[in-house]
């Protein structure tokens, strides 16, 4: 396994050239794993660029992370490519942060249709609203659940 990160560096370079002002942070975690943080209002443009120009054709999932001590949520889109064979091992984490007291972001269903269920889960489990989502309803929780979003950090188990 090579220790150089040529592919990853090239991807970061292309993203920075195309969006010089909007890429807040990039981080190559290790081989085939990289993170790109963007401003929430620009995430859709970056996502379309990733899909159409860099070959990231499908989502592996979407994670929401509650940083309650920093008063923010982070939403992470894990995307990969199947069409480019040499890039199939690569997972790019496209990240955005929103304030915890006003968690509203734009949905990426129009870019990757596969994120529909994951965004619904983040909506019910963390209370994050995805604007433009075709069907922002509960997925796993029961229809009559009226408690707080259960995966937030401030929700504790009775035995905890």
Q: Give me the residues that bind other proteins (CB under 8 A), please.
A: 29-30, 32-33, 35, 57-61, 63, 65-66, 76, 78, 82-83, 88-89, 91, 93, 112-118, 138-144, 146, 150-151, 155, 157, 160
Query: Which contiguous run of DSSP H or E holds residue 49?
Result: helix 43-52
Q: Cβ 50 to other proteins, closest distance in Å?
A: 14
Q: Toward other proteins, which CB reaches closer, 53 or 140?
A: 140
Q: Which residues contact 60 (CB under 8 A, 6 or more apart)?
A: 78, 79, 80, 91
Question: Based on CB atoms, which residue is closest to other proteins, 41 or 89?
Answer: 89
Look at residues 53, 48, 43, 44 and name the one whose alpha carbon lies nearest to residue 14. 53
Residue whose CB is less far from other proteins, 20 or 97: 97
**Residues ≥6 apart with Cβ < 8 Å to 157:** none
List strands edge to edge, sheet with 58-67: 23-30, 33-38, 91-99, 72-80, 58-67
In the complex, the smallest distance separating the C-beta of residue 129 from other proteins, rounded to whole angstroms, is 20
Residue 80 CB, shortest distance to other proteins, in Å, is: 9
């Amino acid at each position: 396994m090579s220790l150089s990160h040529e592919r990853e560096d090239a991807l970061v370079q292309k993203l920075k050239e195309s969006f010089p002002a909007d890429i807040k942070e990039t981080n190559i975690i290790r081989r085939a794993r990289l993170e790109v943080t963007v401003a929430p209002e620009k995430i859709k443009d970056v996502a379309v660029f990733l899909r159409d120009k860099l070959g990231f054709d499908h989502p592996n999932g979407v994670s929401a992370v509650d940083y309650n001590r920093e008063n923010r949520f982070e939403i992470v889109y894990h995307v990969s490519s199947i069409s480019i064979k040499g890039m199939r091992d690569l997972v790019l984490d496209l990240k955005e942060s929103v304030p915890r007291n006003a968690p509203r972001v734009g949905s990426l269903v129009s870019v990757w249709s596969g994120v529909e269920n994951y965004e619904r889960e983040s909506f019910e489990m963390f209370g994050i609203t995805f604007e433009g989502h075709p069907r922002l309803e509960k997925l796993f929780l029961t229809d009559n659940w009226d408690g707080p979003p259960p995966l937030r950090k401030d929700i504790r188990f009775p035995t905890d």
